Amino acid sequence: MEVSWNELNESIRACRLCPLAEGILNKVPGQGNANARLMLIGEGPGAEEDRQGLAFVGAAGQLLTRMLAAIGIKREEVFIANAVKCRPPGNRVPKSEETAACLPYLRAQAALIRPQVILLLGATALRAVLGQEKRITQCRGQWIVSKGVFILPTWHPAALLRDPSKKRDAWQDMRALRDKLAELPLKQAT
Ligand code: SF4
């Protein structure tokens, strides 16, 4: 049976399934359009996200907003979440057991949203969703279709801030994303 948004958000708020729950200021479940055509999945909350309880509100989030705007998508049209809902200490990469513990929440969110397209931002999101053996350097820019959902792995915006040479790939992926959304029929409102 599908859980409701309220039940899901309450479960995330109360969750202590992995050690990441210790020392955080806020859970960061993710936010956006609950009937979005496009779901974006990142790695985990950073300091600003932890403070505000919102995903992708720091520098990487601002870059992501500009990237979406460049292909005509507003932030409020999409749903944005992370592979883990709690900030890893010192912004370290979440461990595979932590992303595994948190994955049911992400799956439940996707089941409620029923996105047509999922953009996986970076290696952690890719491995959490598609398997620990996956490599972002090999999968980036390659469409994967799973249960009728089109999934595109791309660089995390934080990687673009660290290494601007990756922006060329990212722009290619954003154009592919725009074209995919244009070719798919519009979702029926629920
Ligand atoms: S990261 Fe996810 S699984 Fe771990 S405590 Fe936070 S909500 Fe629970």
Tens digit of pLDDT for each residue in 70-85? 999 999 999 999 999 9
Whether pTM exceeds 0.85: yes
Q: In the predicted model, is pLDDT for residue 1 greater than 80? A: no
DSSP label of 116: S
Which of 17, 41, 95 best tests ligand 1's pocket when mutated (most atoms within 8 Å of CB)? Answer: 17
pLDDT of 34: 97
Cβ(8) – ligand 1 distance below 6 Å: no
Cβ(102) – ligand 1 distance below 6 Å: yes
Three-state secondary-structure class, residue 31:
strand
Q: How far is the CA of 172 from the centre of ligand 1 (A)?
A: 33
More confident residue, 120 or 188: 120
- Residue 27 near residue 67 (C-beta atoms within 8 A): no
First to last CA, the chain: 17
CATH of 28-183, one of 3.90.226.10, 3.30.1330.40, 1.10.3260.10, 3.40.470.10: 3.40.470.10
pLDDT digits 0-9 by tens, 132-190: 999 999 999 999 999 999 999 999 999 999 999 999 999 999 999 999 999 999 987 66
Cβ(110) – ligand 1 distance below 6 Å: no
d(CA 69, CA 89): 31
In a 10 Å sphere around its CB, with 0-12 CB exposed, 13-18 middle and 19+ buried, how is residue 161 labelled? middle
